[in-house]
Structure 1
Amino acid sequence: MQVLPGAEPFEHDGSDIGVLVCHGFTGSPQSMRPLAQRCADEGFTVRLPRLPGHGTTWQELGRTGWQDWWQAVDAAYRELAARTEHVVAVGMSMGGTLATLVAETHGRGVDGLVLINPAFEMKDLRLKALPLLQHVVPSIAALGGDIKKPGVQELAYERTPLKALQSQRQMWAQVTRDLPQVTQPVLLLHSPEDHIVPPECSELFMARASSADKTEILLTESYHVATLDNDAPLIEDETVKFIRRVTQAS
């Protein structure tokens, strides 16, 4: 399957500080590329994988599930862990769910967690119809592209396959259940005005994660895809500062 131009994975070999960057559902590495590039410019070793089914066609995404996405992220983590002394997991939206799963799974092997508008279990009543609806309707309108800054576009699908969305919902449930296992330092950046993931997800994380070291920053000038929005420089600066602090790098 041909990868869309701009949706390619990104990697950079640098210092003994590894940064694992995870993109969101129906999106691609394009949405996280500026942040990954900034980390590379700072000298860190960076891996930004393209999740299976993403950056190609929505039909291909419909043939994948959360275990496929997790395997790609876990493989990238293990590669970083083998090459570096420290690893920080970074993710936006569903990428935040996956980064949280990395922290839950690998414990002390993760030095810190950066979450940008992360997705966790949601109470939207419409989602309750997914188990049945996925067998009747193959897709719905797109979820991507929620950006406040004029003239900026996310490379995301025009349709959302419901089987994949239902699979993501199953991942939300597992990761949300295990949030008390998160003990690493956390930087949570989220938009009060987000048309994709409700602010309640960030509130849920802050309430249930066991981390003693939690920093919360509001992205008041951005919508959901904040890494491409007005607050992108703030996100990049705060992420680099956080990585250096939790890895005790000068």
Structure 2
Amino acid sequence: MPVLPGAEPYRHEGGEVGVLLCHGFTGSPQSLRPWAEYLAERGLTVSLPLLPGHGTRWEDMQVTGWQDWYAEVERELRSLLERCERVFVFGLSMGGALALRLAAKHGDAVAGLVLVNPGNKVHGLAAHALPVARHLVPSTKGIVSDIAKPGSEEIGYHRIPLHAAHSLRRFFRVVDAELPQVTQPLVVLHSPRDHVVPPADSARILGRVSSTDVTEILLEQSYHVATLDHDADRIFEESHAFIGRLAPSVGKEGTATGG
């Protein structure tokens, strides 16, 4: 299947500091593309992969699960580690959970994390019905474009494949159990008015990680897809400042391009 226009993966060869960006469940790289380009313009090496089953049609996602999505970001991480001295991992929604698992599994190879409205649990009564419902109904109404900013739209699926949702539920449980293994510097930016992931998910993550260098930022003007919303510039600036603090060579002459 051809990839939806705008949902293509994005890569940029920059300096010795790399950033891996992970998009969300049923979403696509389009939701993080402005963030990726912002970082690329500042001399960073950037990788924004398209997760398996995403960016085409929701039926393609029915035959994928969390192991496929995680394997893709892990491959990208290994590739960045071969080319860069330091690598940071950023994520939106489920992408935040993917980032957390990379941090738990790869330790010091991940220099730091920036998470935007990270998911930790599939909420609601429907979540408990998933093990059975997925065999009876193929999909349910989608969750794309939870954005406050007029005219800003997310490219993603308008249906949620229930087999994939069941796998996501299992994945969140796996990541939740591994949160104490996360020790890296961490920035969590979350929206009080998120209609997809409640603030409780960010609170749970902040309460269970072992990181000591932790920053929490509220995105008062945005909904779930904050990277395409009113607070996008703040997310970009805060994340770049975070990298600059932990990798001071960023942005200095002769280093931003790997020279």
The TM-score, its normalising length taken from structure 1, stands at 0.98
Q: Deviations over 1:34-68 (max 9, x none)?
A: 00001101100000000001000000011110111
In structure 1, runs of 5+ residues without a counterpart are: none
Indicate the residue corresponding to 2:101 in structure 1.
101
Closer, same or farther: CA 123–154 of 1 in aligned 2, 3 Å = closer
Give distance in 2, aligned partners of 1:55 and 1:161: 13
Q: Deviations over 1:197-222 (max 9, x none)?
A: 01100000110000000000000000
Is contact 1:11-1:47 (8 Å) kept? yes
2:114 is aligned with what amino acid? V
Indicate the residue corresponding to 2:249 in structure 1.
249
Q: Deviations over 1:189-248 (max 9, x none)?
A: 000010000110000011000000000000000000000000000000001001111223
Give distance in 1, aligned partners of 2:53 and 2:13: 26
* CA apart distance, 1:115: 0.2
In the alignment, is residue 143 of structure 1 matched against residue 143 of structure 2?
Answer: yes
Secondary structure of 1:178's counterpart equals helix
Closer, same or farther: CA 174–37 of 1 in aligned 2, 3 Å = same
2:31 is aligned with what amino acid? S
In the alignment, is residue 121 of structure 1 matched against residue 113 of structure 2?
Answer: no
Indicate the residue corresponding to 1:46 in structure 2.
46
Give distance in 1, aligned partners of 2:100 and 2:117: 12
Give distance in 2, aligned partners of 1:67 and 1:249: 35
Indicate the residue corresponding to 1:59 in structure 2.
59
Indicate the residue corresponding to 1:155 in structure 2.
155
Identity across aligned pairs (percent)? 52
Indicate the residue corresponding to 1:85 in structure 2.
85
Indicate the residue corresponding to 2:237 in structure 1.
237
* CA apart distance, 1:172: 0.2
Is contact 1:17-1:84 (8 Å) kept? yes
1:162 is aligned with what amino acid? L
Indicate the residue corresponding to 1:176 in structure 2.
176
Is contact 1:122-1:201 (8 Å) kept? no
Q: Deviations over 1:91-120 (max 9, x none)?
A: 000010101111011001000000000001
* CA apart distance, 1:249: 2.8
1:222 is aligned with what amino acid? S
Give distance in 1, aligned partners of 2:180 and 2:123: 20
1:208 is aligned with what amino acid? R
Q: CA RMSD in A?
A: 0.8
Indicate the residue corresponding to 1:22 in structure 2.
22
In structure 2, runs of 5+ residues without a counterpart are: 251-259
Give distance in 2, aligned partners of 1:246 and 1:30: 27
Secondary structure of 2:91's counterpart equals strand
Secondary structure of 1:11's counterpart equals strand
Indicate the residue corresponding to 1:166 in structure 2.
166
2:211 is aligned with what amino acid? S
Give distance in 2, aligned partners of 1:121 and 1:248: 35
* CA apart distance, 1:123: 4.9
* CA apart distance, 1:184: 0.2
The TM-score, its normalising length taken from structure 2, stands at 0.95
Is contact 1:89-1:113 (8 Å) kept? yes
* CA apart distance, 1:122: 4.4
Secondary structure of 1:129's counterpart equals helix
Indicate the residue corresponding to 2:253 in structure 1.
none
1:41 is aligned with what amino acid? E
Indicate the residue corresponding to 2:255 in structure 1.
none
Give distance in 1, aligned partners of 2:42 and 2:237: 11
